Amino acid sequence: MSLTIYTQKDLTTSLLKDKTIGIIGFGAQGKAQALNLRDSGLKVKIALKSVSKSIPLAQELGFEVCTLQEVAQECDVIAFLLPDEWHKQVFDEVAPYLKRNQVLLFSHGFSIHFKEITPPPFVDVIMVAPKGAGKAVRDEYVAGRGIVSLIGVEQNHSGEAKNIALEYACGLGSGRSAIFESSFKDECECDLFSEQSVICGGLDALIRAGFETLVEAGYPEEIAYFECLHEVKLVADLIYANGLQSMREHISNTAEFGDIMAGKQIITAESKEAMREILRKIQSGEFAKSFLKERDTHFPKLRRERKILQKSQIEEVGKKMRGLMPWVTH
């Protein structure tokens, strides 16, 4: 199944030109998106709680900062660019002031898809989800390029929801590469799946298991660190730039032969079954429910695991090794 792709040249409207975009949150995405939209000629305000630590930076960068009530009263587009688990709390604060044809915008489908938030029927609900971290969203824009974004429309009260999403995505710079027409459901479920199975959960567990295997077999921890963690970036960069085949062409024949022989022993039919189970829990809402329960109980699992990892051998040796090459840390 392939998606429709849009670029800057497909824009047929200029609806955002006369509108004010209110961005709630000034973290990784909030800051990057606000700067890109402003540099694209759009009017942007930042909305934060009165006690927010982000206020000085937003003001220093020249943004007008308003309250959550003001963002709903004064802005045409309201972008929820704060952690997903706090969307509902903030939505409940802005909801009483929402007006007809305002646009609620999300960069991840979680809170709408899992019905943490139920917007009133008289607003548009759209998604513009850049497929990259905030820093990349900004860096690519400044370099004259753009991060790919997925857009989606959940509610189209105004009749212009998709065009607004396209314009916003172009304002982020995504029209310079590609804007894929998707949905809250697909973005959310695939994003959670990849975080859990591949890019965060899977990779983290693979690195740790590899490191532990070498150290338990009596090899020096420094070598185990470089082989199992540090060099991940070298291979990831090759895969990112030109794909798996090209990565194999750039590594030695020994490495390629080892890749072919060993990969299937590590990721087995059981691993694939485990992935299907992870996907099933995402699709059924079981994962979302357990995450929201974690939030409601003040994150006991997250706090415990953070402490364990902080004190782990791989992190201790990592700190020492990165200290020898401070330029890798940012």
Ligand X SMILES: NC(=O)c1ccc[n+]([C@@H]2O[C@H](COP(=O)([O-])OP(=O)(O)OC[C@H]3O[C@@H](n4cnc5c(N)ncnc54)[C@H](OP(=O)(O)O)[C@@H]3O)[C@@H](O)[C@H]2O)c1
Number of residues located near ligand X, criterion CB under 6 A: 24
The residue among 86 and 97 lying less far from ligand X, judged by its C-beta, is 86
- In sequence order, what are the residues at sequence separation of 6 or more whose Cβ sits closer than 8 angstroms to the Cβ of residue 212? 314
Residue 104 CB: number of other CB atoms within 10 A? 25
Per CB under 6 A, 22 contacts ligand X = no
Binding mask 29-58 for ligand X (x = CB under 6 A): xx-----------------xx--xxx----
Figure out which of the listed residues 86, 116, 158, 239 binds ligand X, where binding follows CB under 6 A: 86
**Can residue 67 be called a binding residue for ligand X (CB under 6 A)?**
no
Nearer to ligand X, 48 or 228 (CB): 48
Cα–Cα distance for residue pair 125/73, rounded to 1 Å: 17
108 is catalytic: yes
Residue 49 is assigned to a ligand binding site: yes
**Measured from the CB of residue 109, what is the shortest distance to ligand X in angstroms?**
9
Measured CA to CA in angstroms, residue 315 lies from 155, 208, 221 at distances of 45, 10, 11
Q: Is 186 annotated as a binding residue?
A: no
- Is 54 annotated as a binding-site member? yes
**DSSP assigned state of 143:** T
Which is closer to ligand X, CB of 26 or CB of 114? Answer: 26
Q: How far apart are CA 173 and CA 257, in angstroms?
A: 41
149 binds ligand X (CB under 6 A): no
Among 245, 217, 252, 216, residue whose Cα is nearest residue 231: 252
Copy the structure tokens of residue 322: 């990165």
Contact 193, 16 (CB under 8 A): no
Among 11, 28, 148, 178, the residue binding ligand X under the rule CB under 6 A is: 28
> Out of 87, 108, 230, 298, which one is annotated catalytic?
108
Q: Residue of minimal CB distance from ligand X?
A: 27
Single-letter amino acid, residue 187: E
- Are 172 and 151 in contact by the 8 Å Cβ rule? The answer is no
**Among residue numbers 102 through 121, which ones bind ligand X (CB under 6 A)?**
107-108
Determine the Cα–Cα distance for residues 228 and 235; give it in Å rounded to an integer.
11
The answer to whether 40 and 14 are in contact (CB under 8 A) is no
188 binds ligand X (CB under 6 A): no
Confirm or reject binding of residue 128 to ligand X (CB under 6 A).
Answer: no
At residue 23, φ and ψ (nearest 5 deg) are -105, 120
Interface residues with ligand X (CB under 6 A) are: 25-30, 48-49, 52-54, 81-84, 86, 89-90, 107-108, 129-130, 133-134
Q: Binding site: what residues are annotated?
A: 26-29, 49, 52, 54, 134, 191, 195, 227, 231, 252
Catalytic residues: 108
